[in-house]
Amino acid sequence: MSEDPLKICIAVHSRANYGRIKSVMEAVRAHPELELQLIVGASALLDRFGNAIDQIRADGFEPDATVYYMLEGGTPVTMAKSTGMGIINMSTILENLDPDIVLTVADRFETMSTAVTTSYMNIPLAHTQGGEVTGSIDESVRHAITKLAHVHFPATAQAAENVVRMGEDPDTVHCTGCPAIDAVADIDLSLPHDIFERYGGVGADIDPSEPYLVVVQHPVTTEHKKGREQIKETLEAVTNINMQTIWLWPNIDAGTDAVSEGLRSYREKKENSKIRFYKNFSVEDYGRIIYNTKCIIGNSSSAIREGSFFGTPAVNIGTRQQGREKANNVINVDYEANKIELAIKNQLEHGRYKSVKLYGDGNAGQKIAERLATEDITIQKKLCY
Amino acid sequence: MSEDPLKICIAVHSRANYGRIKSVMEAVRAHPELELQLIVGASALLDRFGNAIDQIRADGFEPDATVYYMLEGGTPVTMAKSTGMGIINMSTILENLDPDIVLTVADRFETMSTAVTTSYMNIPLAHTQGGEVTGSIDESVRHAITKLAHVHFPATAQAAENVVRMGEDPDTVHCTGCPAIDAVADIDLSLPHDIFERYGGVGADIDPSEPYLVVVQHPVTTEHKKGREQIKETLEAVTNINMQTIWLWPNIDAGTDAVSEGLRSYREKKENSKIRFYKNFSVEDYGRIIYNTKCIIGNSSSAIREGSFFGTPAVNIGTRQQGREKANNVINVDYEANKIELAIKNQLEHGRYKSVKLYGDGNAGQKIAERLATEDITIQKKLCY
Amino acid sequence: MSEDPLKICIAVHSRANYGRIKSVMEAVRAHPELELQLIVGASALLDRFGNAIDQIRADGFEPDATVYYMLEGGTPVTMAKSTGMGIINMSTILENLDPDIVLTVADRFETMSTAVTTSYMNIPLAHTQGGEVTGSIDESVRHAITKLAHVHFPATAQAAENVVRMGEDPDTVHCTGCPAIDAVADIDLSLPHDIFERYGGVGADIDPSEPYLVVVQHPVTTEHKKGREQIKETLEAVTNINMQTIWLWPNIDAGTDAVSEGLRSYREKKENSKIRFYKNFSVEDYGRIIYNTKCIIGNSSSAIREGSFFGTPAVNIGTRQQGREKANNVINVDYEANKIELAIKNQLEHGRYKSVKLYGDGNAGQKIAERLATEDITIQKKLCY
Amino acid sequence: MSEDPLKICIAVHSRANYGRIKSVMEAVRAHPELELQLIVGASALLDRFGNAIDQIRADGFEPDATVYYMLEGGTPVTMAKSTGMGIINMSTILENLDPDIVLTVADRFETMSTAVTTSYMNIPLAHTQGGEVTGSIDESVRHAITKLAHVHFPATAQAAENVVRMGEDPDTVHCTGCPAIDAVADIDLSLPHDIFERYGGVGADIDPSEPYLVVVQHPVTTEHKKGREQIKETLEAVTNINMQTIWLWPNIDAGTDAVSEGLRSYREKKENSKIRFYKNFSVEDYGRIIYNTKCIIGNSSSAIREGSFFGTPAVNIGTRQQGREKANNVINVDYEANKIELAIKNQLEHGRYKSVKLYGDGNAGQKIAERLATEDITIQKKLCY
């Protein structure tokens, strides 16, 4: 047929978002029957959170629209308000872009905004990373979005089964693996010699030819008042290990200011720390960094997702990833400095694990684009029991 | 214990909302360990939609806060924007009221606003009418809210089972029956002689001692462009029956203007119609009216819910109530004038059905208040498979 | 020069707005150094307020963006919230359209939204109809917008003087006449025989070959609680005159529902009224209708603006136009039925007045476009005393 | 009279705001015919901007409502959106507080939000600091707010004259002096020995018994892209002076992130700098600090306002305070390091100036409260020429 291509709208709303959808964006752009509509918004536009839009543009994607809607505050009430602002602004943009399908990622409040907007506007909604189990408000939101979505692209077999058990029509559930794996599956994983200079950052100098740790620890929204004490435990453990360390600033959830404040206050006091703080890396360089690290510490899903694929030793702290399917590269510990330190030491001793393809084999983007081009979507959903 | 009472916040956002939660408001207000915080907002404040706030005040409830957030338009995009505005404004109000639990009703976009706000603010969310199955966007939204809620008060055993199957912890699911039944279970159901004058309305005079029909037909959001032609079929059928008719203006979903326009245009042309149009009744008078009608027609859930309890003959049109559990008082028909007419005739011939307690026995409010006072709620949810 | 054309962004937000800026839109579109960016939003998209977008499209203008942001309610608080929603949504749109100049009209809350957004975004703001004096909140808002605007196109010499006296740099103030006059200055003013059928409307049949009245009476925001009683006086006077009457539904300011309710309630009761109610006319047909009417009654500025140009007898009621420069075609009266009736009778007796070019000679659009193409604008304003 | 007290609502939206209205809050609270309603919102709630709410509570004021509405970004578009969010949220709060008069301060976007909301809600608006002349978007906004306000409390005779020349009714214009002066007029101005420890801060230790500089340099919204290079010039000049320095983080206008980034980047590089960075001081301690400094540098109005009262030598940089009435304690310079350095040296040599009561004598709060209690306000404004 010589029909108009289907307009697939993807909204990238944070630096983490981007790595998890980039391969789909590429596959949609390359597909002859699909047209990519790209919205870049929220923390992806903010310097404080690493300006992901610069990476996106550097990768050759020009947004069809940009949109600011994040509130200052990093509190539960500002997360709620940001979601409301997201809906209002996404509505204006979607009305004018008029897409055929909107594809949204995972479980953050920006995703909630996109999902609610799309649902009420009667636009078919596709969703990646549904059916996974974790802690934090993300757990509720992820499953709520599943109940709003018309097509599901879960990353694992277990997640796909969860989506079906929640009452989704099995014909709409396609286990594709996670696009986050695609982005790092086929690249040269060696560390460029200038990789740590290239991204600026603040703190100690890092030598890529020497062993280093990576820490990514986000606030847990359901425990947002404990952010500062939680981060202190990690800081203490990492300081005791005394190895050069790449530390990423946390994302923009409730509690982010407490975590950042904890980090800043540490920086003031510790003059000869071995830590360097960064806001952002390119998707591929982030892959290289966590491939080559001796251990990734904190509560980022990348330790579990890309970590299992790479076999990177990981120490997962606290409740944020509770319940998420993990390969054996991960040791779970509580928010306690000495336990964290011990777990890191164990991982340093163990070294790299065998690669496990739990979250996909690197072709998710391709599979998703193909499905979007052919899926026959009914806008009226129905609980499927 | 001599502790402070638990603050239970209930938001009433439309006339329909109110009837479905009134008995809970009464039970919470009466409970020694609970304190009612009442928010009245959205279409419940609007004259166009029957000014439910006047009924609420007449019933002795003084709101702790009122809040406007509905957009003009009655289109999918304005429903989305109203949801966003609802979140922003509800956030401001909830921050200042600081409730211990928020209780929300069913599946409308106002409910979605409340649910999203409450979730992100880490306030426990209780939900009534979850687990039911219908058409319209309400179907998606209802289940999404279930995934955000911490305590569930489904109305039927089937609905409760659905909520558990979706992965909710069975300990948080309490089948209480529907509070909508409470409001009409124990009242004198005879029609006051001046009932139809008291509420104003426009159109033909209605004699309560003569047989009459009731029509309530809302737009179906997922078919919102067909609102006008759908209402035409019903108008034709009802005109042909030629019995005096109480017609309620539709609610504020996408498509509402098309439905209203269809009704207005009909009113212009038919000078000697037997129809009278109303915006609102008190909860109890609405109960009396649908108890005494010869047949209730359209797609309101009250035909199914209170209708089964009363045994009122009902003709349910189209997809809006598709899948909802029904007693045998309901005949389902498509949007076709002659089929609607035939079904009405069959119901007129049949007369009242036997009462069926499918949606509860009239004690839901009591049970819900009791549960709220004692439930031990964990803010961190987890998929329960 | 072969530079890119200057992008001139014009937002049309209501039916009244459109007639007052249409000639500028045409002149900008036709100008080789200018490019028109058109936003259509607010009540211009709403069926309840006459769907001005259909007229705009019929005139060959395709919007670059549409935007819903009006709240339901017609109360002071919803006017405020609509202004806020306007700012948020206009910000998203202006960020993506990236205009060189924004041109805004007069004094309504939609204009306030546009002016605040544009100012904070450091985009030069041009303003028409500044410096006029009236009642209602429009009076405050109009002058506030003058203080935000960088280029001024007042309609009259007196208005231009007022703008300068308020401290604006005289070099930025250009008295061009009012674009509302342009739209009707050079057209055939005879009434098409089917003009009153073409626009639907509800109520009595109107014969264009017979004498008729026109009534346009908007709520006065600063007296919004009196809307209903004010409209009753006018209805009584017009009923007593007993001449066929074209009545336009009011615009969307605070109090609009009270006025509409007053009109609807009248319609219910008066079966053999000679009034027909309309939502909208094309700019040119509206011009023809008020040119040919025996008298225009109410508080619309068109009675004063186009009215002076046509010499149409006008009865101006109440405070809304208080202080606005008027030609001798206008009789001012208070909200009292018998005074209104008397004034109408006097005007019917008097007949057409001499045309007065108080609000321009029909070339405002041309002059404004020319200025926009050449004006050298400094973004930093300074009180000019 | 035994009437209810007049409810005077004051919204404090930033740390700077607070010092400029505190004496009015005290006077309103103390007045027998007035009742203070306090809203604390925007950056006054944010840790990043010094958590002014803690100071407010420490001073014994408990807010009637708090409200978050600032967007992340520090760009022109986020300033616009914050204004819109401010209006929406202030509307909800004002609807529920139902004040008799709202009093608003100066010229920031939070003030614009308050002024627009109040105007459309038909609530009388009182305004302080109107009629002054400066650079930045504040210049436009200040005069726009004057055109919305019903009662004016300008700080200087010149400002009062400007307000009247803009067309305000002279009977509504009361030259009271600036409440910012009140807060520091009668206090013990000696520096507590631990004053610089008490507020935390980051950077060099400061000895209050040794000479020190103060720097406060905000972004200029109309030059927001130059923020970083502008701050570099000041940093260079101050570094060359080599005196211990108190530096306040900038406020939240467009360009704030660039300024902060410039400061952070400097902090990374200069290990033995003599600068210490602070987010906030109490109103009185800030007074003490700028009374005792050898020179205040930057573009804060406090250098001009309180500075003239104290006779503190001041170096005012760039356009932000352009046109504001200044006493002879101020030297104006451009954004050039060597000129700034030279001006500081001249001021260090000169030492304290004679006190000038240009911005009032310390009784503004008293006078304003008295006026509010007795003023007869007409809600309908009219251009007064």
3-state secondary structure chain B: CCCCCEEEEEEECCHHHHHCCHHHHHHHHHCCCEEEEEEEEHHHHCHHHCCHHHHHHHCCCCCCEEECCCECCCCHHHHHHHHHHHHHHHHHHHHHHCCCEEEEECCCHHHHHHHHHHHHCCCCEEEECCCCCCCHHHHHHHHHHHHHCCEEECCCHHHHHHHHHCCCCHHHECCCCCHHHHHHHCCCCCCCCCHHHHCCCEECCCCCCCCCEEEECCCCHHHHHHHHHHHHHHHHHHHHHCCCEEEECCCCCCCHHHHHHHHHHHHHHCCCCCEEEECCCCHHHHHHHHHHCCEEEECCHHHCHHHHHHCCCEEEECCCCCCCCCCCCEEEECCCHHHHHHHHHHHHHHCCCCCCCCCCCCCHHHHHHHHHHHCCCCCCCCCCC
> What pLDDT is stored for residue C128 in this prediction?
98
> What pLDDT is stored for residue D108 in this prediction?
92
Read off the amino acid at residue C320.
R
Residues of D in contact with C76 (CB under 8 A): 120-122
What is the complex's ipTM, to 2 decimals?
0.95
Residues of D in contact with A71 (CB under 8 A): 68-72, 85
Structure tokens at A327: 């390969």
Which segments in chain B show pLDDT lower than 50? 1
Contact between A48 and D81 using a beta-carbon 8 Å cutoff:
no
Contact between B75 and C69 using a beta-carbon 8 Å cutoff:
no
> What pLDDT is stored for residue A2 in this prediction?
53
- To the nearest whole number, what is the mean pLDDT of chain C? 95
> What pLDDT is stored for residue D209 in this prediction?
95
Q: What is the pLDDT of residues B232-251, one digit of tens each?
A: 999 999 999 999 999 999 88
> What pLDDT is stored for residue C213 in this prediction?
98
Minimum-distance CB partner of C88 among A88, A95, A96: A88
Name which of A38, A92, A117 to mutate to probe chain C: the one with the most chain C Cβ atoms within 10 A of its Cβ. Answer: A92
Interface residues of A toward C, Cβ cutoff 8 Å, are 65-68, 85, 88-89, 91-93, 95-96
Touching chains, A (3+ CB pairs < 8 A): B, C, D
Rounded to an integer, what distance in angstroms lies between the CA atom of residue A147 and that of residue C82? 31
Rounded to an integer, what distance in angstroms lies between the CA atom of residue C230 and that of residue C235? 9
Structure tokens at D338: 């060597």
Measured CA distances, A180 to A15, A218, A373, B301, C120 (Å): 12, 18, 21, 44, 39
Confidence of residue A271 (pLDDT cuts 50, 70, 90): low
Interface residues of D toward B, Cβ cutoff 8 Å, are 65-68, 85, 88-89, 91-93, 95-96
Helix (H, G, I), strand (E, B) or coil at A37: strand
Contact between D135 and C380 using a beta-carbon 8 Å cutoff:
yes
Minimum-distance CB partner of C385 among D136, D147, D162: D162
Minimum-distance CB partner of D66 among B65, B66, B96: B96
Contact between A72 and D48 using a beta-carbon 8 Å cutoff:
yes
Contact between C84 and D87 using a beta-carbon 8 Å cutoff:
yes
Q: What is the pLDDT of residues C341-373, one digit of tens each?
A: 999 999 999 999 999 999 999 999 999 999 999
Q: What is the pLDDT of residues A112-143, one digit of tens each?
A: 999 999 999 999 999 999 999 999 999 999 99
> What pLDDT is stored for residue D257 in this prediction?
79
Handedness of CA B55, B57, B60, B65 (dihedral sign): positive
Minimum-distance CB partner of C70 among B72, B202, B268: B72
Closest approach of chain B CAs to the CA of C242, in angstroms?
Answer: 22
Structure tokens at C137: 């909140």
Interface residues of B toward D, Cβ cutoff 8 Å, are 65-68, 85, 88-89, 91-93, 95-96
Contact between B80 and A141 using a beta-carbon 8 Å cutoff:
no
Rounded to an integer, what distance in angstroms lies between the CA atom of residue B152 and that of residue B169? 10
Task: Assess contact for C258 and C228: CB atoms under 8 A.
Answer: yes
Contact residues for B89 (Cβ-Cβ < 8 A; gap 6+): B41, B67, B68, B69, D88, D89, D92
Contact between B87 and A95 using a beta-carbon 8 Å cutoff:
no
Closest approach of chain B CAs to the CA of C67, in angstroms?
Answer: 9
Touching chains, D (3+ CB pairs < 8 A): A, B, C
Nearest CA in chain C to B76: C68
Contact between A67 and C93 using a beta-carbon 8 Å cutoff:
no
Name which of B90, B96, B120 to mutate to probe chain D: the one with the most chain D Cβ atoms within 10 A of its Cβ. Answer: B96
Handedness of CA A28, A34, A35, A38 (dihedral sign): negative
Structure tokens at C200: 């639907």
> What pLDDT is stored for residue A290 in this prediction?
97
Residues of A in contact with C95 (CB under 8 A): 66-68
Read off the amino acid at residue C317.
I
Task: Assess contact for D372 and D29: CB atoms under 8 A.
Answer: no
Mean pLDDT for the stretch of residues C209-217: 97
Q: In this model, does residue C1 exceed pLDDT 50?
A: no
Touching chains, C (3+ CB pairs < 8 A): A, B, D
Contact between A140 and B224 using a beta-carbon 8 Å cutoff:
no
Name which of C114, C140, C223, C320 to mutate to probe chain D: the one with the most chain D Cβ atoms within 10 A of its Cβ. Answer: C140
Q: What is the pLDDT of residues D270-310, one digit of tens each?
A: 767 899 999 889 999 999 999 999 999 999 999 999 999 99
Minimum-distance CB partner of B71 among C68, C261, C268: C68
Contact between A73 and D71 using a beta-carbon 8 Å cutoff:
no
Q: In this model, does residue D268 exceed pLDDT 90?
A: no
> What pLDDT is stored for residue C174 in this prediction?
98
Minimum-distance CB partner of B66 among D65, D68, D95: D95
Q: What is the pLDDT of residues D332-347, one digit of tens each?
A: 999 999 999 999 999 9
Contact between C72 and B261 using a beta-carbon 8 Å cutoff:
no
Closest approach of chain D CAs to the CA of C133, in angstroms?
Answer: 7
Residues of C in contact with B202 (CB under 8 A): 264, 268
Helix (H, G, I), strand (E, B) or coil at A79: helix
Residues of C in contact with A89 (CB under 8 A): 88-89, 92
- To the nearest whole number, what is the mean pLDDT of chain A? 95
Mean pLDDT for the stretch of residues D15-36: 96
Nearest CA in chain D to A82: D71
Contact residues for B153 (Cβ-Cβ < 8 A; gap 6+): B126, B127, B128, B129, B130, B174, B175, B176, B364, B367, B368, B371
Confidence of residue C2 (pLDDT cuts 50, 70, 90): low
Nearest CA in chain B to C276: B268
Residues of D in contact with B41 (CB under 8 A): none
Nearest CA in chain A to C64: A96
Other CB atoms within a 10 A radius of the CB of residue A82 amount to 31
Structure tokens at A72: 């200052």
> What pLDDT is stored for residue B256 in this prediction?
81
Bridge partners (DSSP) of residue D278 are D248
Contact between B146 and A146 using a beta-carbon 8 Å cutoff:
no
Contact between B92 and D95 using a beta-carbon 8 Å cutoff:
no
Task: Assess contact for B8 and B28: CB atoms under 8 A.
Answer: yes
Q: In this model, does residue C236 exceed pLDDT 50?
A: yes
Minimum-distance CB partner of A148 among B121, B140, B381: B140
Confidence of residue D2 (pLDDT cuts 50, 70, 90): low
User: For chains A and B, what is the number of CB pairs under 8 angstroms?
Assistant: 170
